[in-house]
Amino acid sequence: MFKKILVANRGEIAMRIMRTCKEMGIATVAVYSTADKDSMHVRFADEAVCIGPATSKLSYLSVTNIISAAEITNCDAIHPGYGFLSENAEFSRVCQEYNIKFIGPSPEMINQMGDKATAKATMKKAGVPTIPGSEGLLESIAEGMKIAHKIKYPVILKATAGGGGRGMRIVNNDSEFEKAWNEAKMESGSAFGNDGLYLEKFVEEPRHIEIQIVGDRYGKVCHLSERECSIQRRHQKLLEESPSPFITAELREKMGEAAVKGAKAINYEGAGTIEFLVDKDRNFYFMEMNTRIQVEHPVTEEVTDFDLIKEQIKVAAGEPISGRNYYPKLFAMEARINAEDPSNNFRPSPGKITELHLPGGHGVRIDTHVYNGYVIPPNYDSMIAKLIVTAQSREEVVVRMKRALSEFVIEGVKTTIPFHLKLMDDPQFQEGKFTTKFLESFDFNNL
């Protein structure tokens, strides 16, 4: 087992990883930028190394400084968390070269799943249902239109290097095709430096349901059931839950099996998530694979009673997984509390927290790094806490979430708490009848 792990991240996920390390008797090293000097994860770790100025590129994204920090503190492993370098193949490779175990996938796996067109082709070959569309990148508009006729409009042009909803254009008929092509190419070229496009059938009003998997280095893969993540605003998740109110035991079995098949096909090692789009007829299609621990992992942890970070560390240290699948025993939801003003287009609201009271009680979990008096720096993403609520039924989760949210006091900055409160009262949400389009018609006034 590892003796010392460097956590190459910040904020709540750094806290999360270090907490499990402490339980496992593993020493922890925090890295931080000058802007995070007073951050909680710095104080929580056994050792801390300042790795650069506020700019992420020169600190949290600096492979050199992070590897150097691991060297001078004699770490034998690095946990990258999510975001930053967690899906950076080069970082994974450099760790290998310097004999530091990267708690995540190999560079080859990252590359395979990082390129969307390749990932889709790989999954299709493994027998995982994929959205009908082009085989790889499109060579021309003519080719695109030919495929669109075959699979039937509406279709969507997508950037192979894309993410966060950029480099995508929906096409409803032939006359829209050329304009959409040109726009998508230009947007993806400038945002990702790669203007390759592929084509897919546009699944209307889908639900985003993902399956958590874990694989060990001996070829075993298991799944930990689904997370429903359709509550998204501009492709950013705001609330996640498990089990999905839309899924049946049969669908869970089918999707779980498909996810395991896909992960086995690439000899996946570590924790990962396979995202699916599910249409109104409960057909599911592979969307993408995330080769890292995800923000919303606590939802799965609470309903299956499983420490996913601990499993990641064990697998990285060469321990085998049980091979069993895990199913939800309870119901849980996670509300992302961001320092943003939901009444003003979710404008970021950094600044000093002048008053803080965290909710508590049975079935309430908070993953956060903030404290009373903490100054939220403007340089990083705005998520400041995750409120995870668990209960014996979905109805009780909603009631408990409402209670916990109304007990949650953060003053000095604006947060998404008012949005979540209104969401809990929404009848459609309460019935579990929503898709990824749900928030498009949500009234963000009068929160």
List 34, 118, 236, 325, residue binding other proteins (CB under 8 A): 34
The answer to whether residue 403 is catalytic is no
Place of tokens 């496009």: 197
List 5, 13, 14, 69, residue binding other proteins (CB under 8 A): 69
- Name the CA radius of gyration of the chain, rounded: 22
Burial class (CB in 10 A: 0-12, 13-18, 19+), 39: buried
Q: Which residue's CB is nearer to other proteins, number 58 or number 265?
A: 58
CA 151, 251, 223, 276 torsion: positive or negative? positive
27 within 8 A of 46, measured Cβ to Cβ? yes
Distance in angstroms (rounded) separating the CA atoms of residues 161 and 195: 8
> Residue 68, interface with other proteins (CB under 8 A)?
yes
80 within 8 A of 91, measured Cβ to Cβ? yes
Distance in angstroms (rounded) separating the CA atoms of residues 417 and 387: 10
Q: Which of 1-9, 42-50, 314-322, 330-338 is the region at the interface with other proteins (rule: CB under 8 A)?
A: 42-50
List 1, 3, 64, 322, residue binding other proteins (CB under 8 A): 64
List 9, 20, 56, 73, residue binding other proteins (CB under 8 A): 73
Q: Single out the catalytic residue among 292, 336, 365, 400.
A: 292
Q: Which residue's CB is nearer to other proteins, number 20 or number 59?
A: 59
Q: Which residue's CB is nearer to other proteins, number 94 or number 131?
A: 94
> Residue 46, interface with other proteins (CB under 8 A)?
yes
Q: Which residue's CB is nearer to other proteins, number 26 or number 289?
A: 26
Nearest distance from C-beta of residue 15 to other proteins, angstroms: 8
> Residue 52, interface with other proteins (CB under 8 A)?
yes
Rama region for 111: left / alpha / beta (φ>0; ψ in -120 to 50; rest): alpha
User: Can you read off the two tokens belonging to residue 7?
Assistant: 């956590």
Q: Which of 1-9, 20-28, 161-169, 274-282 is the region at the interface with other proteins (rule: CB under 8 A)?
A: 20-28
Q: Which residue's CB is nearer to other proteins, number 63 or number 317?
A: 63
How far is residue 30 from each of residues 5, 45, 237, measured CA to CA in Å? 9, 6, 27
- Residue 392 DSSP class: S
> Residue 93, interface with other proteins (CB under 8 A)?
no
Q: Which residue's CB is nearer to other proteins, number 44 or number 153?
A: 44
> Residue 412, interface with other proteins (CB under 8 A)?
no
List 14, 51, 238, 424, residue binding other proteins (CB under 8 A): 51
Residue list 95-154, contact with other proteins (CB under 8 A): 98
| The dihedral formed by the CA atoms of 403, 307, 235 and 164, expressed in degrees to the nearest 10 | 150
- Residue 253 DSSP class: H
Nearest distance from C-beta of residue 429 to other proteins, angstroms: 29
Q: For the chain, first and last CA: distance in Å?
A: 49
Nearest distance from C-beta of residue 129 to other proteins, angstroms: 43
User: Can you read off the two tokens belonging to residue 162?
Assistant: 């894309």
User: Can you read off the two tokens belonging to residue 148?
Assistant: 């669109």
> Residue 38, interface with other proteins (CB under 8 A)?
yes
Distance in angstroms (rounded) separating the CA atoms of residues 271 and 1: 18
Backbone angles phi, psi at 29, to 5 degrees: -125, 125
115 within 8 A of 160, measured Cβ to Cβ? yes
Burial class (CB in 10 A: 0-12, 13-18, 19+), 344: exposed
Q: Which residue's CB is nearer to other proteins, number 73 or number 232?
A: 73
Nearest distance from C-beta of residue 339 to other proteins, angstroms: 16
352 within 8 A of 379, measured Cβ to Cβ? no
Q: Taking CA 195 as the corner, what is the angle to CA 189 and CA 200, rounded to the nearest 5 degrees?
A: 130
413 within 8 A of 339, measured Cβ to Cβ? yes
> Residue 53, interface with other proteins (CB under 8 A)?
yes
List 7, 14, 30, 295, residue binding other proteins (CB under 8 A): 30
Q: Which residue's CB is nearer to other proteins, number 112 or number 368?
A: 368
List 375, 399, 421, 447, residue binding other proteins (CB under 8 A): 375
| x-marked contacts with other proteins along 329-368 as a string, rule CB under 8 A | -----------------------x---x-x-------x-x
Nearest distance from C-beta of residue 377 to other proteins, angstroms: 8
> Residue 22, interface with other proteins (CB under 8 A)?
yes
Q: Which residue's CB is nearer to other proteins, number 325 or number 372?
A: 372
Q: Which are the contacts of 57, defined by CB distance < 8 A and separation ≥ 6?
A: none
Distance in angstroms (rounded) separating the CA atoms of residues 19 and 172: 50
Chain residues in the site for other proteins (CB under 8 A): 15, 22, 25, 27, 30, 34-35, 37-38, 40, 42-53, 59, 64-65, 67-69, 71-73, 94, 98, 352, 356, 358, 366, 368, 371-375
Cite the active site residues. 292
